[in-house]
Structure 1
Amino acid sequence: MKVCASRIRRFLDELAEFNATPGQGITRMSYSPQAHAARAWLCQQMEQAGLQVREDAIGNVIGTLPGTRADLPSVMIGSHFDTVPHGGAFDGAAGVIMALEIATLFNEQGLSPHYPLEVVALVEEEGASFERGLLASSAMAGHISSQMLESLHDSTGISAAQRMSEAGYAPRDVSSVVRTPESLKAFIELHIEQGPVLEQTSTDIGIVDVVVGMTQLSVTLTGKAGHAGTTPMDRRQDALLAASHIISQVGDFARQAGDATVATVGKLRVHPNGANVIPHQVVFSVDIRSRDERKLRQVIDQTREAINQQANQGITAAVEQTLYIAPTPMASEIVHSLEQQCDRLGYSRRTMVSGAGHDAMVFAGLAPTGLIFVPSRDGLSHHPDEWTDAEQIAKGVEVIFHTVKAMTEAKNHD
């Protein structure tokens, strides 16, 4: 068996062609014309690999190699094919191509699995379209309703449901994408690290044992607008000043918690946003992550208390928790299998915590799940210069191929 690095490189290059911003990174939003073309390409490649291909009600592409027993649960592999605006060609795509390469190897070698093998290319992991990440995996886990798709909107105010309908999908039938624990034997994802550790330590493979827990808060502070020159300082209800007191503390809360806990304020909207007007409303995001759920909740509580303190200063506050996911351990038996394959193949490895959210963390609620990382050059991701050598991806593919082959009990045709 030989994983083909040049084929992986070609697959990645071809997928990167479906891009709304040539020369400025990769932009492939989930229901854009570029995503539509990418789906057609993915369907074609999956069919050439001998898979039975379908698209589900929200636009995920699923290819199946049936097992000798139709009633057995599937081993599912893959990742997402959407991007952030002006992102890179490897985030998500590397995992989709991993799955496509493994399906191709099964086909080339005439391998017949006992358990079905499913290859998935998932939509809207990034949340760049509707500010709701992990959408496809969450839908498969039964966490997304048709009403939720009506309530999620893009930057132009159009709902996720409408975007899906316009692209030819059936958001009202989102319940049809739900997978039961009985239908999945395992889920395994490959992803670029999106950080510098593997490259700096010259390590081939990162094997994730836990994905951090995370929360996202949307905070709205409302004060009172006024003239910047004629309103005395002691008579102001300045929403931006109140926000600054909160924002300046969020990072300190995370540092005090330790254990790789992090907190970020990444979005800030000021109204009316005039140079000579006291801001009457500020809306900002708070993203908090930790591998320790107790510390995650601690920083959430401290942030809420800081918000409440400002609300006592003539400012009203509203906090919406838009996302909460507890720290998610990967399945120990899959971690062990991946470690064994690394050692057998002679690839260096290290155990890692994933600080980023991945579809694997949602699938972990459905089935035993594994996640591996391959090195990112200079640790860059969500950036046009994002890069991982095809030869490094090939090592990860080889590790997962042998793991999946054993899991499906695949054998050569007689």
Structure 2
Amino acid sequence: MTALQYLREIDGIGRDPVRGGHSRHLLDDADRALRDWFTTTAKNLGLDVEQDRNANLWAWWHPADGPVYPAVVTGSHLDSVPGGGALDGPLGVVSALDAVARLKADGHVLERSLAVVVFAEEEGARFGIACLGSRLLTGVTPPETALALTDSAGHRLRDVLAENGVDPAGIGPDQDRLARIGLILELHVEQGRQLAPRDEPIGLATTILAHGRWKLTITGRGDHAGSTELDSRRDPVVAAADTIKAVRRAAVEAPAAAKARATVGRINVTPGGTNAIASRVELWLDARAEKDHDVRDLVAAVTGAAERAATDEGCAVTVHEESFSTRVAFDAALTERLDGVLGGVPRIPTGAGHDAGVLAEFVPSAMLFVRNPEGVSHAPAETASPEDIERGVVALTACLAELA
């Protein structure tokens, strides 16, 4: 089967009838169905499939004489943001499976082992930390931090893992597995619109912006919407509104060289009644910029604005860092080698985090991007043409043939 056929095969899994698009979150029904699909599909290609101690899936193709490490690794993730597009993550997985099938059909003889990986909880949509599977594998996120996580329904990660055959006591850095990885090449749909203006279907990544997530909790006083005079209110929603406007302002006022982006895309209001003044508002800040200190400066500006807004409304605010990823520069020598295979393609930066970016600190890492004509991502309108998807698979196949 081709990558396009694989995408059609899984399209119905995790369809979101409310948001549109797909909602596939770590070890929920949709994610489990996708993991089962991947396992079956990879085994049908003759690959050996295993789940590691951090819930990542690995499908191995070894040379005839047995494993040869360090291996070439490709793949991506299958989970999504709420109401996400069909390609962010799955395109890299299905393209990798298609590439393996083509290499096998062509009689390609491996000199080193090759693995297709599905990383767990890349989007962080369920438990709040993006790239959780790769961060645990490398030790970037301590296991005790991960095990303390809960989802919006109050389910503990510890329990969810145990219920799905992953020993919570075993998660964390996996040096033996990390030593098996010689390099990683992740194919991904382009996020943003840099290839279309160049009339190019394929690009290579250069850098990932520094980025992180922060939870702001604004606490006020719950009360009655009808009987409470305006001058006696301590309304955290008002303070939150001022804070959200300050988020955009902080990004706009940052130095141009910082390429700052700041977003609030999730808000929880307690108790959430139409005729009740809220007692608490939780909002999540996504902040990104060119350098680590640019992100820190951006968050400091937002924190200061939130504190002022809370004080003006008689409220209090706390800020908790949920995750932070430093700026990534992909391996120059590997990228140059891939560019030679591809005959010269655009090299572009990205503002989106990826598992390959997490691994970049530990092993040579590179990324291929497939043109997204409108640039939309993390939304149902995310797309790539069938012709460009095919070009992406051809490019990935050629790169894997060179590397493995």
Q: TM-score, normalised by structure 1?
A: 0.88
Q: CA 1:32 to 1:280, structure 2 compared with 1: closer, same or farther past 3 Å?
A: closer
Helix, strand or coil at the partner of 2:240: helix
Offset, 1:220: 0.9
Residues 341 and 403 of structure 1 are in contact (CA less than 8 Å); yes or no, is this contact kept in structure 2? yes
Tell me whether 1:342 sits opposite 2:338 in the alignment: no
Q: TM-score, normalised by structure 2?
A: 0.90
Residues 46 and 100 of structure 1 are in contact (CA less than 8 Å); yes or no, is this contact kept in structure 2? yes
Helix, strand or coil at the partner of 2:153: coil
Cα distance in 2, alignment partners of residues 189 and 136 from structure 1:
15
Helix, strand or coil at the partner of 1:378: coil
Instruction: Report the counterpart of residue 411 of structure 1 in structure 2.
Output: none
Offset, 1:212: 1.0
Tell me whether 1:76 sits opposite 2:73 in the alignment: yes
Pick one of 360, 369, 375 that aligns with 1:373: 369
Pick one of 3, 6, 9 that aligns with 1:11: 6
Tell me whether 1:122 sits opposite 2:119 in the alignment: yes
Instruction: Report the counterpart of residue 316 of structure 1 in structure 2.
Output: 316
1:366 partner letter:
F
Which one is further off, 151-160 or 46-55? 46-55
Offset, 1:194: 2.9
Tell me whether 1:27 sits opposite 2:23 in the alignment: yes
1:282-325 Cα shifts (integer Å, max 9, x gaps)? 21111111122232121112112223334544322211010111
Q: CA 1:372 to 1:272, structure 2 compared with 1: closer, same or farther past 3 Å?
A: same
What's the C-alpha RMSD, in Å, of the aligned pairs? 2.5
Q: What is the aligned length? A: 399
Instruction: Report the counterpart of residue 208 of structure 1 in structure 2.
Output: 205
Helix, strand or coil at the partner of 2:368: strand
Instruction: Report the counterpart of residue 106 of structure 1 in structure 2.
Output: 103
Offset, 1:201: 3.5
Which one is further off, 303-312 or 240-249? 303-312
Residues 26 and 83 of structure 1 are in contact (CA less than 8 Å); yes or no, is this contact kept in structure 2? yes
Offset, 1:57: 3.3
What residue ranges of structure 2 are gaps of 5+ in the alignment? none
2:70 partner letter:
P
Q: How does 1:2-401 map to 2 (within 5 A)?
A: 7-21=2-16, 24-67=20-63, 70=67, 72-175=69-172, 177=174, 182-228=179-225, 231-257=228-254, 258-259=256-257, 260-313=259-312, 314-343=314-343, 349-401=345-397
1:142 partner letter:
G
Which one is further off, 161-170 or 211-220? 161-170
Offset, 1:209: 0.4
Cα distance in 2, alignment partners of residues 244 and 88 from structure 1:
29
Helix, strand or coil at the partner of 2:252: helix
Residues 75 and 407 of structure 1 are in contact (CA less than 8 Å); yes or no, is this contact kept in structure 2? yes
Q: CA 1:224 to 1:406, structure 2 compared with 1: closer, same or farther past 3 Å?
A: same
Residues 180 and 366 of structure 1 are in contact (CA less than 8 Å); yes or no, is this contact kept in structure 2? no
Offset, 1:69: 7.4
1:236-267 Cα shifts (integer Å, max 9, x gaps)? 43322222222212112111222321101112
Helix, strand or coil at the partner of 1:195: coil
Residues 144 and 174 of structure 1 are in contact (CA less than 8 Å); yes or no, is this contact kept in structure 2? no
Q: CA 1:310 to 1:21, structure 2 compared with 1: closer, same or farther past 3 Å?
A: closer
Cα distance in 2, alignment partners of residues 19 and 220 from structure 1:
31
Cα distance in 1, alignment partners of residues 217 and 34 from structure 2:
38
Identity across matched positions, percent:
28
Cα distance in 1, alignment partners of residues 390 and 280 from structure 2:
50
1:349-399 Cα shifts (integer Å, max 9, x gaps)? 322121111111111122111012112242233333432223212222322
1:43-90 Cα shifts (integer Å, max 9, x gaps)? 222223332221223432211122467463111100001123332221
Cα distance in 2, alignment partners of residues 85 and 283 from structure 1:
18
1:80-134 Cα shifts (integer Å, max 9, x gaps)? 0112333222111110012112221232223232222111122211122222221
